[in-house]
Structure 1
Amino acid sequence: MSVASAAFASAVLVVASIAHAQPLNSSADHRSDGPGGFADLAEKVGPAVIGVNAKVVAADDDNSPGQSAEPDGSPDQDTPRLAPGPGRRGPGSMPGSGEMTSIGSGFFISADGYAVTSNHLLGGSDAADVRTSDSKVYKAKVVGKDPVSDLAVLKVDGRTDFAFVRLADQAPRAGDWVLAVGNSFGLGNTVNAGIVSARARDLESGPSEDFVQIDARINRGDSGGPSFNAHGDVIGVNSLIVSPSGGSVGVAFAVPADTVKTVVPQLKEKGAVTRGWMGAQVQSITPDVAESLGANSLRGAVVVGVQSGGPAAKAGLKRGDAITSVNDEPIKSANELTRKVYAAAPGSSVKLSMVRDKAQNSLSVTLGQLAQSQAPAGLPK
């Protein structure tokens, strides 16, 4: 046997000897050169992916994400729309029945049963059923939910040897291979391969996160499931699709791993995420708005409303102010402004540079804390 052959055989033996409760991926090399096939990768990460079922309340006209009364994008809609890629209503759940089963996906992040899924799948439920790849069903409690990032954490008790995966340490590049695994249509673990189409997608009608866009087909039941790079690291949590009819057309969005790393520890510790709050409604500056302000190249966010008694109102922010930077860092959109405010600690002060009455101006806002009732929905309706 040659030296090269011996080294390869030795490497195979090492991989085969990894204990079941060890992480199912490898972070040794983050270059994504694309596998010759996806079977080995799917076999390696599949045991960590779970199906998630939750009982949620359904209104008579319910069309909320994850459990639509009919496929998102009804026949009379001929333009693409943001639609939840996620869940579907379970068998026997009829509109107006008051309760239905939301079906989605998730994945274990530790051997002791902590798992990540999508917030919108859970509705107001504080428990869910999870099904592992070997068809075993467990009761899981909802540890925490975050409507802003559309993430939630579940906990299954009673075992400490669940297969689990890790979050990627590096952001993917456009063109990298991606493998999406989920509970498509409630059928059980299903894999779909594709590439990262784009990074840092800013969806004005979605949650305030920089989405990873992928072209792997995300279907109903896949929301909350992971998308992996070629080494088995989770690069995102599948959340949304863009579709003219509600069906997958290969344009899907995942909450990036960096966001998951920020949100999940807070959900595990205290069940919610602490964010700064300004008390102002903003929208991105369009060319028309920029022209009206006398600065065609102006970028940022224009204030369209100020909440009475809120931090922004107390600081003197007014409707029509065009905010161009936060703490002297330029912003390009309303979502970028929102992300910066959310990332700041309540009680801290942020400096806003802006254009008011066609003149440069600035002021400082002492932020409050975003309450759950003030948080925007994680998905568009």
Structure 2
Amino acid sequence: PGDWVLAVGEPFGLGRSVSAGVVGATDRHFVEDEEIVFIQSDVSVNPGVSGGPLLDGWGNVVGMNVRMIVSQAGTAGLSLSLPVELVLRTARHASEQAPPARLRLGADFTDPSPIDSFASRRSDTRGVLILSVHADGVAQALGLRSGDVLVSFNGRAVSGSGDLVRQLLAWQRPGGTRATVIRAGRKVHLQVPDDARAPLPQAVGPGDAPGSEVKP
């Protein structure tokens, strides 16, 4: 955040145009965009610029411009770009005859607010708040519940929703997946069996999810 970036394109058909802006965040996540992160900046991404490159101050391509966030009054605000590593990964898989299926966590999540952290008896806002859990997914097999705050995934600390998305992009197999959550003020360790394969088994019920509770 704070670095200058350039967007190259043809806004409204005006060729060879460049606009400049400043990066506000490098791992912006929205619930409705599932497991995707964006580079947030204030560079202008008008029609004709989306799909074009986002460059850093040295001319390196760091992302692909996607869209702008416009206020209800119609004024342009923030722009979103896909990180270049995600674009290259997608292009590489698209060129393969049998692209590998991408694992999905099977849960909606967001960054916890200070109020959420207070409700879970925590003093900071690190981690990810689980909003809902989809049926027959890894999250359900793990035993994640709505209201859990996910603080560790496969042994790595989770600082926020963008950090979790990047970890999920490198995730290879559901079997053995581990997670640590804060639930009702307690730290709960969850794990999917090592031999689990997709499709994963359903949990017995909302109150019978696997996991061992450890007092903080």
Q: Same fold judged by TM-score > 0.5?
A: yes
Change (3 A) 1:368 1:282: farther
Superposed displacement of residue 313, structure 1: 2.2
**Contact 2:44 2:68 survives alignment (8 Å):** no
Instruction: Give the length in aligned residue pairs.
Output: 194
Distance (Å, rounded) in 1 between the aligned partners of 2:114 and 2:157: 17
Partner deviation per Cα, 1:125-159 (whole Å, 9 max, x = no partner): xxxxxxxxxxxxxxxxxxxxxxxxxxxxxxxxxxx
Distance in structure 1 (CA, Å) of the matches to 2:165 and 2:27: 15
Q: Select which of 258, 267, 273 maps to 2:94.
A: 267
User: TM-score, with normalisation over the residues of structure 2?
Assistant: 0.74
Q: Distance in 1 between matches of 2:99 and 2:76?
A: 31
- 1:189 paired with 2:15, answer yes
Is the Cα–Cα contact under 8 Å of residues 283 and 334 in structure 1 kept in the other structure? yes
SS of structure 2 residue aligned to 1:275: coil
Give yes or no for contact 1:277–1:367 (8 Å, CA) kept in 2.
no
Give the CA deviation at 1:260. Answer: 1.9
Verify: 1:237 aligned to 2:80, yes or no.
no
Separation (CA, whole Å) in 2 of partners of 1:309 and 1:278: 10
How far the C-alpha of 1:358 sits from its partner, in A, is 1.7
SS in 2 for 1:320: coil
Q: Is the 8 A contact 2:56 2:62 kept in 1?
A: yes
Aligned to 1:314: 141
C-alpha distance in 1 between matches for 2:169 and 2:58: 32
The Cα offsets for residues 99-127 of structure 1, whole Å up to 9 and x where unpaired, read as xxxxxxxxxxxxxxxxxxxxxxxxxxxxx
Tell me how far apart the structure 2 counterparts of residues 214 and 314 of structure 1 sit (CA, whole Å). 37
Report the aligned-residue RMSD: 2.8
Q: Supply the distance in 1 between the matched residues of 2:158 and 2:23 (Cα, whole angstroms).
A: 23
Q: How does 1:1-381 map to 2 (within 5 A)?
A: 174-176=2-4, 178-185=5-12, 187-205=13-31, 207=33, 208-244=35-71, 245-249=73-77, 251-270=78-97, 274-365=101-192, 368=198
Residue ranges of structure 1 left out of the alignment (5+ in a row):
1-172, 370-381
> Cα offset for 1:204?
2.5
Question: Which runs of at least 4 in structure 1 moved beyond 6 Å after TM superposition?
Answer: none
Gaps of 5+ in 2: 200-216
1:277 deviates by: 1.9
Conserved 8 A contact 1:267-1:273: no
Q: Which secondary structure does the structure 2 equivalent of 1:337 belong to?
A: helix
Q: Per the alignment, do residues 319 and 214 of structure 1 end up closer, same or farther by CA in structure 2, a change over 3 Å counting?
A: closer
Aligned residues with identical type, % of pairs: 23
